[in-house]
Amino acid sequence: MGMAHLVMIYRNRLWKKTMPGYKAISLLTALLHFFSLQAQPPIGQWRTHLPYQQAAQVVKGGNSIFCAAGAGLFAIDSALNVTFFSKTSGLNDVNVQKIAWDNNTRQLVVAYANSNLDIIAGKHISNIGDIRRSTIAGNKTIRNIFCSNGTAYLATGLGIVTADLSRYEIKDTWIIGNNGNSTGISNITEDGSNFYAATDEGLKRVPKTVSPADYRNWISFSGILQNPVQNVITTDNRIIVQKNDSLLVLNNNTPVLFYYDAAWSVVSINASENRIVICQRNNAGNGRVLVLRSDGSTDKTVPQQTFTLMPRAAITDNTSVWIADSTSGLLKYNTAFESYVPDGPGAFVLGDLLAATHTIYAAAGTVSAAFTASGNKNGVFAFRDNEWLSNQFFNKSMPDSLADLHTLAADPLNGTLWAGSYGGGLLRYLDGQVYVYKNYNSSLLPAFNTTGDFRIGGLAFDQQRNLWVSNSNAVRGLHVRKADSSWQSFSVPVLAAGSRLGQVVADEAGQLWIVAPGGNGLICYNPGSDISNTADDRWKQYLQGAGMGNLPGNNALCLLKDKNGFIWVGTDQGIGIIRCASAVFDAQGCDAILPVVQQDRFAGLLFRNETVQCMAADGADRKWVGTKNGVWLLSPDGLRIIYRFDESNSPLLGNDVKRIAVDPVTGEVFMATNNGLCSFRSTATEGAADNRDLLVFPNPVPPGYNGTIAIRGLVTDALVKITELNGKLVYQVRSLGGQATWNGRNYKGEKVASGIYLVLVRDDSGNERIAGKIAITSGR
């Protein structure tokens, strides 16, 4: 039995879990300089939602413990205050590769996977982008960082790069391979006389009295150390070398065996407080951390526990050991384990994002570009009330086949969550229990010429609560679980049996729109007045070209039904819009139109030659479009670009945007990218039934606040007036969906004075009434 978690939780900012038994404590004093994951951002601001239990490195700096985990970076100080670092808080990149602390300048050095560097000093972040921008040939990946006296020595795939941490610039590059060639460096260290480098050509040293930039000055060790070594560190002025699973100490430049245990392989070594900290694993899949004194005697063995399955790095801190574990997050061990896991999804989000009632669901699974399963068993996560949630099913095993949960749907009546696996069938989560549907309890079929490969391509509920399921590569590719729980299946006559099928959308006319990946365009299916009667079923395939459906390209990738009932089709050649969905099967037919969008002084087809991977509509029916080159916000008709976000002009984590969903209540837009999940607080929400339950925030408006004031809970397109108590008009605006915004200024652009202001909205009879009040405090 494998382990797959339907919904994973790490509640209330940062959890501290203690063994035996879990004890949770909330951190109520998180530093406010950086937006934490839990605080809902103001309008126009971003936040990240990253997995933090996949910890990779831990270092101590000043009074804080810094942890690099997945794509995230955070710090915990001695009072258990937590600080999150991300692009939303000023970092210049994503995907932290290595971190190191320099005691001399009291700064944290952050190296990214693309070799970009950030230097963090308190609240100030400086960037050194020379390595990333360099066109030098070779592997520039930063494998390790050694800091000494204000210089960061970067071990890269081609040599050693030194960075000045006071001037924030690259000082030098040392290419030290044999005959002046490049060679990969695993780590660098020093003693009073020499620099030492663990390289792919063995251990090398250079006296500090000569230029280390001249490869001829580097002395290669012979014997066992003339072949690749994995690490070199200094502790108590002794040089320790890692050679595979053995540790050697240099005695007058002669290697002497320092430590070896045949039962345990070495994952990493680290020098910490004149001790050597070793992370290890054995053949049984257990992990442990061993702390040795500089003379080789054992100081402490962190026992094997469920927590230490995959220790990646560790340090000591007085009597405690801090461990970065890739399954348990940041651990602290003294006499018991404590696990520190900031709030976030349990893994990277690669599949569907679903905005349901008060909840954002995020699927971790995915389907490869070649339409193969990836084996991702991380399940589905839920975000509610500004925290990532779990439930009573947490830590219970699920069948091995339930991998790659990638497509989601929620029952419109009771919110029951359904998830489709690409290979494992259909999953329903109800009242804390998981039910799996395959051929023995449904009409679902395995993929063509297989016996146990149940590929779910897409899910959608129609207005009668029938759940429609595309069963990719099956002989009968479309299935329905009716509201009465009975099942029925359908062949797709316009495609060959066993064709791929993907996303499904149901329209108001009761028709199904189905993506047919791999160049088969889009399928429209009208089941007639009675689903059970197939005699009146009608099918149509949409392809590229006038009279064929007029899609911009045959490779359809995503669908969106907007508030007008229009069907938006995203392809690898742009977007087509089907505005006459109810007339698809009429004599005149219904081709897609290809809108022309105006941008600057140029006009062109909407996203022509752009790969459109996902779309979502907000409360004002504006369209959020995700591509491989960032995110666009379009006007409701698609003819005007309102925003464009990419890595260079925003905190968007990655330009390759896989999925988008909009929270209908808050207007927050969630974007799953190739580098993690992030969100942007937008200005539009879904309209309310009336204007009686308004929420104004912030209210009162604090002194010095220069952000946006939001008025939420309005009917769609409501006319809102801000007036003084005597009725004098200050500002007037129409809501976007159910939310209006005000910048706290009058119609002349001047900041308003302190006082109480009225919010007036027009009721159904056309009369204006006071719907709320806004308190502006002094000092704004």
pLDDT in tens, 121-151: 998 999 999 999 988 878 999 999 999 999 9
* 325 vs 8, residue with greater confidence: 325
The yes-or-no verdict on residue 116 having pLDDT over 60 is yes
Same domain, 73 and 130: yes
Evaluate whether residue 565 is within a structural domain: no
Task: Tell whether 214 is covered by a domain.
Answer: yes
In a domain, 508, yes or no: yes
Residue 748: the pLDDT is 87
The pLDDT of residue 306: 79
Q: pLDDT of 304-340, one tens digit each?
A: 877 888 999 999 999 999 999 998 899 999 989 998 9
User: Does a structural domain hold residue 559?
Assistant: no
Question: Same domain for 422 and 549?
Answer: no
Considering the domain boundaries, does residue 365 fall inside one?
yes
Per-residue pLDDT averaged across 411-436, rounded? Answer: 91
Nearest-angstrom CA–CA distance, 18 and 10: 14
| Of 224-228, 340-344, 405-409, minimum mean pLDDT range | 340-344
Q: Extract the tokens encoding 378.
A: 């991380």
List the structure tokens of 205: 């040293």
pLDDT at 287: 94
pLDDT score of 431: 79
List all residues 6 or more positions away from 198 whose beta carbon is below 8 Å from its beta carbon: 155, 185, 186, 187, 188, 229, 230, 231, 232, 241, 242
pLDDT band at 394 (very low <50, low <70, confident <90, very high): very low
pLDDT value of position 257: 97
Note the pLDDT tens digit of each residue in 594-628. 988 876 666 678 888 899 999 999 999 999 999 99
- For 643-659, what is each residue's pLDDT tens digit? 999 999 999 999 999 99
Q: What is the pLDDT of residues 627-647, one digit of tens each?
A: 999 999 999 999 889 999 999
Q: Hey, which residues does 298 pair with through a beta bridge?
A: 292
Q: Collapse the DSSP code of 179 into the 3-class scheme (helix H, G, I; strand E, B; otherwise coil) and give the result.
A: helix
Question: Which range, of 40-49, 417-426, 691-700, averages the lowest pLDDT?
Answer: 691-700
Q: Is 525 helix (H, G, I), strand (E, B) or coil?
A: strand
Read off the tokens for 180. Answer: 């002046």
20-29, 376-385, 483-492, 532-541: segment of lowest average pLDDT: 20-29
Same domain for 461 and 529, yes or no, is: yes
The pLDDT value given to residue 71: 78
Q: Of 403, 437, 471, which marks where a domain is finished?
A: 437
Encoded amino acid at 446, one letter: P
Q: In this structure, are 425 and 446 located in the same domain?
A: no
Give residue 35's pLDDT.
31
Determine the pLDDT at residue 768.
Answer: 81
* SS3 at position 406: strand
Rounded Cα gap, residues 116 and 129, in angstroms: 5
Range 531-556 average pLDDT? 95
Among 525, 554, 583, residue at a domain's last position? 554
List the 574-578 sheet strands across, edge first: 556-561, 567-571, 574-578
- Confidence tier at 216 by pLDDT (50, 70, 90): very high
Same domain, 227 and 363: no
Q: For the chain, what is the total number of helices (H) and then of strands (E)?
A: 1, 65
Residue 563 counted as domain residue: no
168 shares a domain with 314: yes
Q: The whole model's pTM is what?
A: 0.88
User: In CATH, what number is assigned to the domain containing residue 459?
Assistant: 2.120.10.30
Encoded tokens for 296: 């080789």
29-33, 104-108, 270-274: segment of lowest average pLDDT: 29-33
Helices within 283-362 (DSSP H only): none
pLDDT of residue 557: 97
Domain hosting 127: range is 49-342
Q: Does 566 map to a domain?
A: no
Split into its structural domains, the chain has a count of 5
Average pLDDT, the chain: 89
pLDDT of 177 above 90: yes
159 and 227 in one domain? yes
Q: Residue 501 above 90 pLDDT?
A: yes
- The 10 Å CB-count burial string (b at 16+, else e) for 209-239 is eeebbebebbeebeebbeebbebbbbbeebb
Among the residue ranges 202-206, 582-586, 614-618, the one predicted with the least confidence is 582-586
Domain match, 674 and 713 both: no
Let me know: does 393 contact 6? Beta carbons within 8 Å.
yes
Q: Is the pLDDT of residue 56 over 50?
A: yes
Residue 23 has pLDDT above 50, yes or no: no
Residue 2 has pLDDT above 70, yes or no: no
Q: What is the CATH number of the domain that holds 87?
A: 2.130.10.10
* Per-residue pLDDT at 495 exceeds 60: yes
pLDDT of residue 603: 66
| Residue 31 or residue 625, greater confidence | 625
201-209 contacts, C-beta under 8 A, 24 or more apart? 201/177, 201/226, 201/228, 202/226, 202/227, 202/228, 202/229, 203/229, 203/232, 203/241, 204/176, 205/253, 206/176
Q: Within this chain, do residues 293 and 388 fall inside the same structural domain, yes or no?
A: no
**Residue in the structure block whose two tokens are 């509610």:** 384
Average of per-residue pLDDT across 432-454: 92
* 17, pLDDT greater than 70: no
Mean pLDDT of 385-414: 72
Write the pLDDT tens digit of every residue in 63-105.
Answer: 999 999 977 899 999 888 899 998 888 899 999 999 999 999 9
| Residue partners of 19: CB distance under 8 A and separation at least 6 | 305, 307, 336, 337, 338
Domain C-terminal end among 437, 462, 496: 437
Question: Could you report the per-residue pLDDT of 674-689, keeping only the tens digit for each?
Answer: 999 999 999 988 888 7
Lowest mean pLDDT among 34-38, 250-254, 717-721: 34-38
Query: Can you tell me the distance from the alpha carbon of 298 to that of 269, in angstroms, rounded to the nearest whole number?
Result: 14
Average pLDDT over residues 420-446: 92
**20 band by pLDDT with thresholds 50, 70 and 90:** very low
Band of pLDDT at residue 434, cut at 50, 70 and 90 = confident
**Which H or E run contains 132?**
helix 130-133
Q: Is residue 562 part of a domain?
A: no
Percentage of the chain surpassing pLDDT 70? Answer: 92
Does 199 lie in the same domain as 59? yes
368 with 443, same domain?
no
Answer yes or no: do 38 and 66 share one domain: no
Give the confidence band of 398 by pLDDT, cuts at 50, 70, 90: low
Residue pair 663/680 in contact by the 8 Å Cβ criterion:
no
